[in-house]
Amino acid sequence: MKAIYILWLRQVIRYFRTRSRIIGALGQPLLFLFALGYGLGPIFAKAGNGNYIEFLVPGVVAQSILFTSLFSGIDVIWDKQFGFLKETLAAPVSRLEIMLGRSLGGATVAVFQGIIVFLLSFLAGFKPKNWESIFIIFIMFLMALFFTSLGTAIASLLDDLQGFQLIMNFLVMPLFFLSGSLFPLNNAPYVLKIIASFDPLSFGVDAIRFLLTGTTQFGLPIDITVLSICTVVMVTMGAWLFSKIEI
């Protein structure tokens, strides 16, 4: 447990020491929030779907967590190239503890990033309907741990930063755009609904949207169940792939 805590703390400190990463990670969510929120808001309202900012905020928060979590895997490849990972793996600590510590650290950072975006959404006029929605932090953490483990699993198989970035770009956009973050799924074509039901991010967005606005597509119990199962499976898979790294 001590090793997990040390690695968790190292990941958190490492991230917050690079202020440019924090600021850079806020750019795209804020662009979606203000440009799309105000640009498409009148059209969304005329279609009878209500306030678009209210609908958009959960998706933008989820997007921030998605990007920060997945790209935390870069640190694994970075440490491989500069020999830091070799020193870590040589320590008398199991690789499972190393992977858990790194993943928990990355998830903590992603949740913090999501909270910042959520707070900044107030500047766009967002007002949660339920102020008892502190439970969204748990949902955010499940999402962050899932995608951090996914990023670690992919990074464990690669040695090239460019290859990792290409794969991440291939994953991030479909996961985000097919999750119902930018448009409601209830009126979407049937095929799109089926695809969205296989996107783990869809359930995270839906859970956050329910807790903040009271609207849901799948139902909160289903959202939590799917996210929990996916997270356990991905952490297990990520730990197994991380254990196979050869330095």
Q: How far is it, in rounded angstroms, from Cα 187 to Cα 184?
A: 7
Q: How far is it, in rounded angstroms, from Cα 164 to Cα 60?
A: 23
In percent, the amount of the chain with pLDDT more than 90 equals: 17
Dump pLDDT digits (tens) for 124-141.
Answer: 888 887 766 778 889 999
Residue-level pLDDT at 229: 95
What is the helix (H) or strand (E) element at residue 116, kind and residue range?
helix 95-120
| DSSP classification of residue 49 | -
Q: How far is it, in rounded angstroms, from Cα 65 to Cα 201?
A: 10
Output the pTM of the full model: 0.89
Residue-level pLDDT at 22: 65
CB 51 within 8 A of CB 41: yes
| DSSP classification of residue 1 | -
Largest Cα–Cα separation, the chain: 62
Neighbours of 219 (CB within 10 A): 13
Q: How far is it, in rounded angstroms, from Cα 40 to Cα 58?
A: 16
Residues 6+ apart with CB under 8 A from 126: 53, 54, 57
Dump pLDDT digits (tens) for 189-232.
Answer: 888 888 888 999 999 999 999 998 888 888 889 999 999 999 99
Dump pLDDT digits (tens) for 153-192.
Answer: 888 887 777 777 788 778 888 888 888 888 888 877 888 8
Q: Which residue has the tokens 């790209």?
A: 71
